[in-house]
Chains A and B, each alone.
Chain A
Amino acid sequence: MVKWPFSRTTLERTVWTILVWLLFGLFVLGPLLTVVAFSFTSSVLSGTGTFTLTWYGQLFSQPGLYGPLIRTFEVAIIVVAFQLFFGTLVAYSTVRKRVFAASALDTLSNITIAVPSVVVGLSLLAFYGPFGPFAAFTDFLFGNPVSLTWTLWILVFAHMLETFPYMVRSVGAVLLKLDEHLESAARSLGARRLHVFLTITLPQLKPGLVAGSVLVLSRSIAEFGATIIVVSAVLKTAPIAIFTQAEAGSLELASAYSVVLMVVSFVAYVLMSRWLLRGELVT
């Protein structure tokens, strides 16, 4: 009797490997790599495209084309800074039960994950628009209705709402693991609450802040659904430019934009992983 050269375990592992990688390639890697390939193709629609760097040349030389990329990163960095403050505040308030109905606030802080982003955009337009409560409120207070429609503010708010849960969850997860006794001990020795937060709590939150910042950055860079409702023509971001280019039939240019966004998000993610794994930011 001929002996089967592979063990059952090896065979199973091989079958699993092929199956999982095939599915992963089909649904994840395949589409992403196709976009990369399109970005280096002279003409996708003609079916006879050759290798070219033209689209990247155009993207980085024409202000009308690279403008949305710059805007994307500018908005993302503002949103990260806002979230470092606002997300940390909410996470601290809910985990440490500093506010009434902390559990409800904790649950509600996930709401923008559950609600479609286009609904978030419309909600902002309704609330901060000329016919919404914000205009009515400012009219009541100052005698002049303030509308944030088509402004930078409403764009930043849209990105903040969409990215908010990621910072709250990242910081909250680290906060849950922190030993509150250290803070209690410092306070019992006479340290003020703010001093305790800045010197004891905050340094220990670094992994959560870094992870949250990277997630917020990536999510903000990719934000589309809410943005397309609220963004003005001047502040158009890269995902909107991708949509516009794809709709206009320029798949190659849309792909070049996509590759730039992919690279930035991927690099940010890798840097974060390396820092966290090295324990560089963990005290």
Chain B
Amino acid sequence: MMRPSGFTIAVLVLAAGVALASVDLFRLERQTLVVYTTPALRDFLEGFVVPHFRANFSVDITPVYVSAGEQYNRLRISGGHPEADVFLHASPLFLEKGFAGGYFLPFTVRGDSTIPPTFKGSNVTGGHAWYAFAWSPLVEVYDPAFGAPPDLASINTAFGFPHPLLSNNGIYAVLFFENVSAAAGLRALAHTVVQPVNARANILGVAEGDFAVTLGYEAVTLFYVKQGARVNFPLRLPILAGQNYVTPVLFSVGLVKGHPNAFASDLIEFLFRDTVQSNLGRYYFRSVLPNSTAPAGGVPLPAPGAVTIDYNWSKWSGLEAALPKYVIGG
């Protein structure tokens, strides 16, 4: 019997390697659910959602953490062949914008009737453009040396105005000031030297002394407080001209049009399951379902006398137009 040459064996090994590699890569490409999301949700997603969803559906999730604007542009250049299945964002702005641009599908979750109207997009044919699956109030985060939150109407110290074009945290800061006092917003910007590019960097900016005051998410602030970061505790709602405000940060979900993975809708439904909603508090977020409790250490709500800013996100274009005004040198 003729003995195969080394060359033949090498060719066979290579062919087998190519076959195995191709099968694995195509499997990975087809079966993995891609979620465009924000670093603010990292612990909740990787600590709870990803492992539990995998256990329930045998589907892997790959979260992609880049800025909302970058993700939106990535979606645009894919031209109907997106890599992302689902968007999980800290604001509905890009979901509304993307829906208007034809990049997202309308959908309805099974428990729609239990979700308050402020936690979902307006009615469109086929359901809603987005739903909030978690929320967190905007809080005033400040150097503990102040003792109490400085009034934002007369801010006279280093402020950290998060970058409104690179972070959703910046979008909420603009939303707050534009709805309460644009003059105070521009005053805060005038005291800003460093513009954090995401909600985590924003809180760390205070903890590390880059600036003394900022507006951050309660959930992210609590996360760092529990880790021992040097930020104020207990948390306070933003105060402007003696008035407290509740600005709900809506962690929202959108379904990408042409999403390659059929489990995208299952993930969305999964986010509204009781098991997920009841575990949001562990990660310092608040549930969107009625009668939910605040996370440990969170701001007690409803707060007597506080004004709630329930923004109508269908008017996103007005908010978007105001964003560049809050960029240093913009």
Contact = CB atoms under 8 A, between A and B. Distances in A.
Contacts of B15: 81
A176 interface: no
A154 to B, nearest CB: 11
A77 B77 contact: no
A255 B132 CA distance: 39
A206 interface: yes
Interface string B6-30: 1100000011011011101110110
B78 A130 contact: yes
Contacts of A94: none
Size bracket, chain B contacts: 20 to 34
B225 interface: no
A233 B81 contact: no
B80 A78 contact: no
A232 B79 contact: no
B34 A233 contact: yes
Most buried by A among B18, B81, B84: B81
A129 B7 CA distance: 38
Interface stretch (A102-110, A143-151, A178-186): A143-151
Contact of A232 (B7, B24, B83): B83
Contacts of B108: none
Contacts of B79: 129-131, 135, 147, 149
Contact of B62 (A81, A149, A233): A233
A135 B18 CA distance: 27
Interface string A228-256: 00001111000000000000000000000
A71 B21 CA distance: 8
A84 B7 CA distance: 13
A264 to B, nearest CB: 14
Contacts of A234: 28-29, 32, 34, 62, 83
A149 B78 contact: yes
Interface in B18-59: 18, 20-22, 24-26, 28-29, 32, 34
A152 B21 CA distance: 11
A12 interface: no
Contacts of B22: 74, 78
A208 B50 CA distance: 47
A270 to B, nearest CB: 17
Contacts of A75: 21, 25
Contacts of B190: none
B106 interface: no
Contacts of B18: 77-78, 81
A30 interface: no
Nearest to B66: A233
Contacts of B83: 149-150, 232-234
29 contacts: A71-B28, A73-B21, A74-B20, A74-B21, A78-B21, A80-B14, A81-B14, A81-B17, A125-B77, A130-B77, A130-B78, A130-B80, A135-B79, A147-B78, A147-B80, A147-B81, A149-B78, A149-B79, A149-B81, A149-B83, A150-B82, A152-B26, A203-B7, A232-B29, A233-B64, A234-B34, A234-B83, A235-B25, A235-B28
Given A77-B18, A131-B79, A281-B6, 14 more contacts: A70-B24, A74-B20, A75-B21, A78-B21, A80-B14, A81-B14, A81-B15, A81-B17, A135-B79, A149-B78, A233-B84, A234-B32, A234-B62, A235-B29
